[in-house]
Amino acid sequence: MASTPPDTSKRATFLRRSASTLGLWALVSAAFASRVAWAYVGLIGVLMVIATLEYFRMLKAGGVKCFPRYGMLLAVGYSAVLYWMLLGAPGADRIEMVGPFGHATTMIVNPFAGVPDWFDGAAIFAAIAGAFFLQLRFPIRGLEAIQAVAVNLLGFIYLAFLFNFAARLVFMVPGPGEVPGAMLLLWMIAVTKFTDMGAYIVGSAIGRDKMIPHVSPGKTWQGFGGAIFFALLAGCGLYALCKDDMPNFATGLHVLGGWGHVIGLSIVMALLAVVGDLAESVVKRSLNAKDSGSMLPGIGGALDLIDSLCFTAPVLYFYLQWMTP
């Protein structure tokens, strides 16, 4: 049987990837257009659950001992409680305001009050203690026991913990409505995904010099340059177009801090997006898996989709905490 010409294969992959990307942007746009809080956390939660399921499937397929049922239960339980606290925001300070046309709206004044400080620590403790508890049922065979505990802990922190910073971003800034940080979340997604697109487009077109071939043979330094350029294009372009729609703190300080912060943040997030993509490559190559799943033709699974977001969402969250007056 004649093999498929390389150009034809690349073209087909590009078309499948483009179709999947357009479909995803349509789904994200629908969630953003709804301006309904549960649509945001619902989309984030579904992607997180599917990605976690793919992670444990890869572990099982790679012959790595783990506790997938406990891992899934912990991820779903942690996310459900987090979303309940974010949506209900018990303890958050809210005031009712009346707009210029007489429409009532809710303003979140102290969005950090919704999630208690001990919550994340308790969840990480449950991930460690629960995995060790389950391991007590089995005999010790070399490193197998400690690996089982470690991969369960990694799965929780890598996916359920890190990716859910995207949900926190929606509610952590002050503003009117159910989703005061909607435009901020869109900005983060755009910068991250444009980084991925820039690396893929430029790398496919002119990529020659391998970046880290022992981790990801397809990554090139030319693609890395394209990733930085596209991230700046998305970050600065969206900020210029939608600056007035992004929230401000009560002092009048813009949440992104101005043009210098936007440029610096775009570059930092691009670097972390590349690291996030390579981090998933480490996981997949360790488990001899090409893709995490087949949900998205040309892209792979949900984990292939959110890998870079798991690294960019936390850094934007921590930046906003630093910027908070």
In a domain, 1, yes or no: no
CA angle 235, 280, 68 (to 5 degrees): 125
Q: Is the pLDDT confidence value at 134 over 60?
A: yes
**Best-predicted range by mean pLDDT among 15-19, 153-157, 288-292?**
153-157
Higher-pLDDT residue of 227 and 1 is 227
Are residues 236 and 272 in contact, defined by beta-carbon separation less than 8 angstroms? no
Residue 20 binned pLDDT confidence (cut-offs 50, 70, 90): low
Residue 97 binned pLDDT confidence (cut-offs 50, 70, 90): very low
In a domain, 252, yes or no: yes
Tell me, what's the pLDDT at 243? 80
Sign, CA torsion 156/157/163/165: positive
Tokens describing residue 259: 């043009």
Tokens describing residue 54: 């793919």
- Distance in angstroms (rounded) separating the CA atoms of residues 314 and 325: 19
- Number of residues in the chain: 325
Domain tally for the chain? 1
How many angstroms separate the Cα of 165 from the Cα of each of 27, 257, 316?
20, 20, 9
Tell me, what's the pLDDT at 257? 78
Quote the domain boundaries for residue 132: 11-323
In a domain, 68, yes or no: yes
In a domain, 293, yes or no: yes
- pLDDT tens digit sequence for 165-192: 999 988 877 666 677 788 888 899 999 9
- Distance in angstroms (rounded) separating the CA atoms of residues 246 and 117: 27
- pLDDT tens digit sequence for 72-82: 999 999 999 99
Tell me, what's the pLDDT at 276? 94
In a domain, 6, yes or no: no
Tell me, what's the pLDDT at 307? 92
0.85 surpassed by pTM: no
In a domain, 35, yes or no: yes
Q: Which stretches of the chain are DSSP H helices?
A: 6-34, 37-61, 68-88, 118-135, 144-155, 162-163, 165-171, 182-206, 221-242, 259-286, 302-306, 309-323
**Mean pLDDT in residue range 209-221:** 89
